[in-house]
Every structure is written in C-alpha cells, then in structure tokens.
Structure 1
Amino acid sequence: MKKLWIPIMLLFVLLVSACGSQAADHRGNSGGTGQNTDAASENKGAPDGNNKTGTITYQSENGPIEVPANPQRVIVLSSYAGNVMALNVNLVGVDSWSKMNPRFADQLKDVEEVSDESLEKIIELDPDLIIGLSNINNVNKLQEIAPTVTFTYGKVDYLTQHLEIGKLLNKEKEAQAWIDDFKQRAQQAGEDIKAKIGSDATVSVIENFDKQIYVFGDNWGRGTEILYQEMKLAMPEKVKEMALKDGYYALSLEVLPEYAGDYLIVSKNPDTDNSFMETDTYNKMPAVRNKHVFEANAKEFYFNDPVTLDYQLEFFIDHFLNK
C-alpha cells in the first residue's frame, strides 16, 4: 500500500495526502493539539477576560506559548485555514491546498500563497501568528518571525481540533457554539437519511489520486467524519478491515467492488484521469447500477474544517434526501 499524506486530508500526514514524495501534500484532514485550560490561559495586558488585547498563553502540545489575544495577521501553512476563517480571524497567508479550494476562493482571493520554505515572503507578510501541522519545516526559523503553533494530525478528533484552534485564537466560546450546532444538525440528518435508505445500508467514500484509487475510513476528510462519526451510517466490512486504522487504503480497480457500499461517495478530482469510472468493473457495481453514486469535487471535499464540514453536510442532505 502506498503511503498517503494530506489537505487532512492535503489534507488532508489533509490537508490533504499522496503517494511517494507527493504524500506530504494530499491530506484533507487535520487534527491534533494540546489543551488550553483556563488556568493556563492568561490574558496579559487586559483588564478583564473579555478584552482581547495583549497576549494569552496557549498550552500547545510542545508546551506553553505566548500568542496574541486578538491576532490580526495569521498565516496557516497547512490544513487549518478553514478553521481560522470560520472564527472570523484575518488571514494573510495560506498553503497551496487551501488556495486551490473553490470553497475558499472568495475569502482567500487577497490572501498570499505561502509554504514553510517561503521564509522571505512570510517575513514580508508580517504575521503575528503562524499555524501549521507538526511536520512542517523550518519551525525554529518561523518562531523567530512570529509565535508558531503546530498540531499533530490525529492527536485529537476533528471537532476537538476546531475547539483547540478556537482556544489558540481566543475564541473558544465561538468554536464550541459551532461544534454543538453542527453535531445536532449532522446527527438529525443522519437519522433522516437512515430512515430513507435503511439503517443497514452501507456507504463507501473513494477517491482517485495520482493513478491510485483510495477508500477512506472515518477520519480522513472527504465527509467521512460526518457519514460515520456523526450520522452513524454503516461502513462496508472490508473498509472497516483495511481503512480504519490508517484512515485510508490504496486498492486496485479489480477489487474495488469488494469495498463499495450500497452508496458510493466519489471524491473526484477534475484534474485527474478518472477513466476507471468508465470501466465495466466500475459500472457493474450495484451502487452504480442503482444510481447510488454521489460525485463531489475533491478540491472542495478534502478538509474537515467548519467551512468544509458545513458544505459536506449540505451535500449529503441534498443527495441522500432530495435526489
């Protein structure tokens, strides 16, 4: 099995993951961090807890770090742009995977594309906070430019990850409010969908990337967190066996029918050769014959941030219930 790294997923280890040298950029999921307890979160220079001036101390997975209480110029080097946007915090630089996401296009049109290697450009952008995955390069140099906080993918679940971003940005209440609302909406949608398709109906999520077909578990973006964790829809046994541990599994076209559920979500990249969908093997699968295939633009589906999750939830409600 080839190793996949994303925009999570590039995800989305999402935002994104890919094979070989590209694996570090194809991940749709991102997650993991330390905890920011009330006792450890100090608001320095502010007369009360509601005044977002000065700095706070965030308890990152690498130890306490002093960050702006009200950051104004944030750079995200991997995966978390949607989390920052959802909390209405200004971005001045983001990774290439976020920049190519059609869902983010309007909000990021004036935001610079940067990487962990473009140090001069980052200096010019004058950030007051830098965020990224724990495997980014040049962390020591980035820390000299601005407070830099990294998260390890998978250290915490995807919703706790958003809460941690909220703590880091001094917007914990806003993050928790979105989480509570999202869980309620997703779980209700799950009940409605199971009532329509049957509680035993299985669902698979696949993607073709770099001439390789992947099937996904329950925590690798592409809507998997919603389908399996919140909606509790059934996963084919073969997918459970091979994809749950790592989050994804690479397979050949010949065995794809063994992993295909009654319903098939295809995260389809328009820039990739998707000719496998024209083969007899693919078209003879029950999900295809029964028109139970829902195609999504992979570039919009990689991540598991609030902006993407809200879109994915709308996508599933529309396709399962309204079509």
Structure 2
Amino acid sequence: MKKILLPLLALILVLSACSNQSDNKSSKNEGETKTYVQDSGDKVKIPKNPKRIVVLGATYAGGLEQLDANIVGVADIVDDSKVLKDKFKDVEKVDAENVESVAKLKPDLIITYNTDKNLKKLNKVAPTIAFDYMKHDYKEQHQALGKIVGKEDKANAWIDKWNKKTENDGKAIKDAIGEDTTVSIIKDFDKKVYALGKTYGHGSEVLYDAFGLTMPKTVEQATKKNDLADISEEELPDMAGDYVVTPVAKGSKLSFENKDIWKNTEAVKNGHTIKVDEGIYWLNDPYSLEYERKDLKEQLLKQ
C-alpha cells in the first residue's frame, strides 16, 4: 500500500507546485507594465495587459471594443451613435469631464484626447494615454490601439480585410458614377458652413481613402492646411462636387438647405446629395466605418 501512496503523494506535490508557479506567473503578468510613447513624445508606464480601461475619447471606443479590450467605462457620448450604443449597452457610461465618475470605476488605464482639460487629474487616477486626433489616420489609429492592448495582429488583420473589401467597393462605384466624378463633404455647425478634408471623419476616410474617390480641387486646396475650411454660403457652388455628402445631427436641418444658392448647385439639381447621420459619421472606428461603407456605397450606386 505504501508503494502506491508514496508515488501518488509525490505526484500531488508536483502538481501543486506547478499550479502555484502558474498562479504566481499569472499574478506577475497582471502587474507587469510597458512603456508607451505618447503623441506628445512623453513616455507613460501602462499595464502590459490592462484589465480596467476607461475610454473618454469616444473616437477610440469602437476600436478598442473590436480588439476585445477590457473596457469598464466609456464616455456617454457614444450613445449618440446608434451603432456604438448597442456595442456598449452593458458598459458603464461616464461624463468625460467628471473625473470623480472615472475614479469610481478604478481604472488601470484611461484613454482620452490630448485636449482634455483634466489630464493632470486623470493621471493621478490611473496611467493616461492622451491621443492627438490629428496625428493619426484611421488605420494608424487602430494599429496604435492594438499596440496598447497587445492586439497588433488583430488590428492589422482588420486593416487587411478592410482594404480588400473597400477596393472592390471603389471599383464598383467608379464604374457606376465615373472614374473622375468628384465628391465633397459639406456640413454646418454653430452657424458656420464647412468643407471637410480627407481625414476629418464624417465619411471622408471611406470616400477618399477606402473608395479612392476624387475630391474637388477647390476643396482640396481650401482644406490643405487644417483639413477643413470655414466657407461662406456664396462659396457653396464652388465647393460642391458632382456629389455632396452632408452630415446632419438627428432632428436637425442644414442651415442652407432651402436657399437658392444651394438648390441651384449641379449636385442638388441632379439629385446627387446624400444626407447622413452625423451621430454615426463623425466616428471612424471599425464598427462606424463598416456602417458608413455600406451606407455610402448603397447611396452612391442608387443615385
């Protein structure tokens, strides 16, 4: 009997030791950090495997969700998008300007914009990454998020799939509306009218990068410096392409919608205007972009 018990006891001890080593290793990994270089050039120590991320920069919420990051809180503005509202229905919503509401969630990582006025306070709550929105295009943005949460492969896989899919979309659209047909994005905000550049969201990434469509030369020149241009209503005919996309907030109308100068543009007279939901279109995460891709393709092909 002893001959049987002794080997069994030895086996139990070995398994127990292995289990403890595995637990210790797992515990150790949870506490590990890595250095992340901010857009500002500053370095910040962040968790190697963040477990409680609060996303105050709504631009980055969908991307992190697509990468299966551990998000415990997100800026309540995501609910303005019917696409993201569903994705974050079970995640705590916080006021992006209320540091106390963030602290209550005990984050181990906070992600926000470099324009956040509470950066110093947030850094006292948890390591904080402050993105400069204008420093990355949407693909670089997704790669950066992948690097933060250790999911670079998944981020790159999404980009590869997106490139192939949208290349085919672009060919189909150009075959239908013409290779040299121009498309512009014009929106109004706070009593001003703007022509948008190639990376200012609102469908620009889909139209110009993914589909490879052409921007009017007038818009390209006007938006060259700041990626958008404050224009007068009198400039609308010059800025309007063969097709015009107009982002509009839910329940709102374009300030120039009923004015003759707008009605007399070729795009309007030809029925080539596309009104889109600004609540979705201002975002450029994988989920929002997929919605925009399908929506814009459908509307361009049926014009």
TM-score by length of 2: 0.84
How far apart, CA to CA, are the structure 1 residues paired with 2:96 and 2:76? 11
How far apart are residue 257 of structure 1 and its match? 0.9
Corresponding position: 1:150 with 2:130: yes
Q: Which residue does the alignment assign to 2:74?
A: 94
Q: Which residue does the alignment assign to 2:53?
A: 74
Question: What SS does the corresponding residue of 1:70 show, helix, strand or coil?
Answer: coil
How far apart, CA to CA, are the structure 1 residues paired with 2:151 and 2:33? 12
1:135 counterpart (94, 97, 115)? 115
C-alpha contact (below 8 Å) 2:163/2:210 kept by paired residues: yes
Structure 1: which 5+ runs fail to align? 1-44
How far apart, CA to CA, are the structure 2 residues paired with 1:275 and 1:141? 39
C-alpha contact (below 8 Å) 1:212/1:250 kept by paired residues: yes
- 1:1-323 residue pairs with structure 2 within 5 A? 53-61=30-38, 62-78=41-57, 79-115=59-95, 117-322=97-302
C-alpha contact (below 8 Å) 2:188/2:255 kept by paired residues: no
Give the length in aligned residue pairs: 276
How far apart, CA to CA, are the structure 1 residues paired with 2:31 and 2:205? 36
How far apart, CA to CA, are the structure 2 residues paired with 1:162 and 1:194? 27
Deviations 1:97-136 (A, max 9, x none): 3232221111223434434541211111111210011121
Bigger-Rg structure (1/2) = 2
Higher helix proportion, which one?
2
Deviations 1:119-170 (A, max 9, x none): 2111111112100111212323212211211111222322111100110011
Question: What SS does the corresponding residue of 2:104 show, helix, strand or coil?
Answer: helix
Give the letter for the 1:145 counterpart.
Answer: V
Deviations 1:19-53 (A, max 9, x none): xxxxxxxxxxxxxxxxxxxxxxxxxx868xxx974
C-alpha contact (below 8 Å) 1:209/1:272 kept by paired residues: no
Q: Which residue does the alignment assign to 1:5?
A: none
C-alpha contact (below 8 Å) 2:95/2:101 kept by paired residues: no
Question: What SS does the corresponding residue of 2:135 show, helix, strand or coil?
Answer: coil
Question: What SS does the corresponding residue of 1:277 show, helix, strand or coil?
Answer: coil
Q: Which residue does the alignment assign to 1:29?
A: none
How far apart are residue 271 of structure 1 and its match? 4.2
Q: Which residue does the alignment assign to 2:6?
A: none
CA separation of 1:322 and 1:272: change in aligned 2, threshold 3 A: closer
